[in-house]
Amino acid sequence: MGSGPILQLSGVSKSFRVGPRTIGRPRAQLRALDHIDLRVEAGKTLGIVGESGCGKSTLARIIVGLTRPDAGTVAYEGADLSRARRRPLAAALGLQMVFQDPYSALNPRMRIGDAILEPLLVHQIVPRAEAPGERDRLLDVVGLSPSLASRYPHELSGGQRQRVNIARALSVRPRLIVADEAASSLDVSVQGQILNLFSDLRDQLGLTLIFVSHDLNVVDHLCDRVAVMYLGRIIEEGRPSILREGALHHYTHGLASAIPQPIPGRRRAQPAISGELPSPTNPPSGCHFRTRCPARQPLCAEASPPLNPAAPDHRVACHFPRVSTPEAVGRNHAADDLTVSPSS
């Protein structure tokens, strides 16, 4: 088990200018991330959930250094990376990303063996003569036959490609991997294989994982901690039990109930959350979720609730949080501990 945060984000904000360029009027400002504070412990798995457009991918890209934040710090092993023009190589390689779309994440003109070989050679991860052996070993680690090395990406299935993407990210021996919807586009049975691969890698290599997904089932299955985002803000953070009875934020609760489960007889008369996502360029004042919230009060429009500790290990940004019964929380915590961490 790790100790201390491997990654700490403080006050990370990012805005984009969107819409047509017009003379006289500035372009609309879109706050993709609004003061994100987040800690990731070494060796643990953090899940980031939320609907599309809430800023998950932007956060992922900032963590691995593909985008620079407008404000705030991104500290990896204590060193702030956010201001560096170019990240120190060790940090750049220590944080890797696995992308959502297995079809777009591999260069179509490159044999997959070469795609894995390239980082090994460029960064001299192993002596040149040993590189092909290392490539085969990496293919083996992700469950692919080394004989596939000479294939082009289009000659592989979606699941196989995602394995290649994982092998390529592993080639530079990262300590933290950010997986952005890495299993979302795959069929259930293949998705299961990829999720198992991630949990094996975490256990065998001691990797820290940040698992970005809109699928709460997947996140609950894989993660030690969960952060829920809504329109650029983290609105709740805690153990995976917040995706079940433990939710204090009305959005988390609604999101969790909206997930279809293969259990018959759950049909509700009303949708779990009504209304559309507000425009991200013009979010509601105060609490962003108030327009869709069943428990809104006048205060919600005036002040935006800070992300405050509500219990040990549990932060929530809501003026009027749900009441969750202590015994339900306790039961769920027990379930968290029972399964995911095999307490080595």
Partner 1 sequence: MSAASIERPVAPSAWIARLPVPLVAGTVMILLAVIVATFGPMLAPDPLELNLGATLQAPGAGHWLGTDNFGRDVLARIIAATSVDLQFGFFSVLPTFVMGTALGVLAGTNRWMDAVLMRVLDLVVAFPFYVLIIAIVATLGPGVFNMYIAVMLVGWASYARLVRSEVLVVAKHQYIEAARALGFSSSRVLWRHVLPNVIVQPVLLATTNFIAWILVGSALGFLGLGVQPPAPEWGVMIGEGRVYLYQAPWMAIFPGFAIFYVSFAAILVGDGLSEVLRPDVS
Partner 2 sequence: MGKAVQNDTLAPPILQVDGLNIEYQGGPHAAVAARDVSFTIRRGEIFGLVGETGSGKSTILRSIIGLLHQKAKVVSGAIRVAGHEVTGLDQAGLSDLRREHVAMIFQDPLRALNPVMTIGAQLAEVMHAAGLRDRDAVQRLIVGALERVGVADAALRMRAYPHELSGGLRQRVAIAAAMIRSPELILADEPTTALDVTIQDQILTLLYDLCRDTGMSVLLVTHDLGVVAEICDRVGVLYAGRLVETGDVARVLTAPSHPYTAALLASMPRIGERQSRLRVIPGRPPELSVPGCPFAPRCAYALAECGTIRPVLEPAGADQASACWRRDQLRTCLAEEVSVG
Ligand X SMILES: Nc1ncnc2c1ncn2[C@@H]1O[C@H](COP(=O)(O)OP(=O)(O)O)[C@@H](O)[C@H]1O
Binding site for partner 2 (CB under 8 A): 51-52, 157, 187-189, 191-193, 195-196, 199, 214, 216-218, 220-222, 240, 243-244, 254-256, 258-268, 270-274, 276-277, 332, 335-336, 338-340, 342
- 56 is a contact residue toward ligand X (CB under 6 A): yes
Does the footprint of ligand X cover residue 30 (CB under 6 A)? Answer: yes
For 116: left if phi > 0, alpha if psi spans -120 to 50, otherwise beta; the answer is: alpha
Q: Is 133 in the site for partner 1 (CB under 8 A)?
A: yes
Residue 137 makes contact with partner 1 by CB under 8 A: yes
Instruction: Give the separation between CA 33 and CA 196, rounded to whole angstroms.
Output: 31
Is position 77 an interface residue for partner 1 (rule: CB under 8 A)? no
Owner of token pair 């306790």? 330
Tell me: does residue 66 bind ligand X (CB under 6 A): no
DSSP codes of every residue in 57-82: HHHHHHHHTSS--SEEEEEETTEE-S
Is residue 324 at the binding interface for partner 1, with CB under 8 A as the rule?
A: no
Distance CA 133, CA 140 (A): 11
**Angle separating helix axes 112-122 and 131-141, nearest 10 degrees:** 120
Sign of CA dihedral 144, 145, 151, 155: negative
Asked if 219 and 184 touch (Cβ cutoff 8 Å), the reply is no
Q: Tell me the two tokens of residue 192.
A: 């299961």
Report in angstroms how near the CB of residue 159 gets to partner 2 at its nearest. Answer: 9
The residue written with tokens 């219990």 in the block is 311
Sole binder of partner 1 in the list 30, 36, 64, 307 (CB under 8 A): 64
CA distance 185 to 292: 28
18 interacts with ligand X by CB under 6 A: yes
Give me the least distance between CB of 72 and partner 1, in Å please: 20
The structure tokens 């433990």 sit at 246
Name residues contacting ligand X, limited to 268-287 (CB under 6 A): 280
Least spacing, CB of residue 123 vs partner 1, in Å: 7
User: Which residue in the set 21, 154, 266, 268 belongs to the binding site for partner 1 (CB under 8 A)?
Assistant: 154
Instruction: Specify the residue, 210 or 273, whose C-beta has the smaller distance to partner 2.
Output: 273
Q: Tell which phi-psi region holds residue 11, choosing left (phi > 0), alpha (psi between -120 and 50) or beta.
A: left
| C-alpha span between 135 and 110 (Å, rounded) | 14
Which residue number, 20 or 260, has a Cβ lying nearer to partner 1?
20
Tell me which residues touch ligand X (CB under 6 A): 16, 18, 30, 32, 50, 52-58, 280
Tell me which residues touch partner 1 (CB under 8 A): 61, 64-66, 87, 89, 92-93, 96-97, 99-101, 104-110, 118-119, 122-123, 132-133, 136-137, 140, 145-147, 149-150, 152-154, 165, 168-169, 171-172
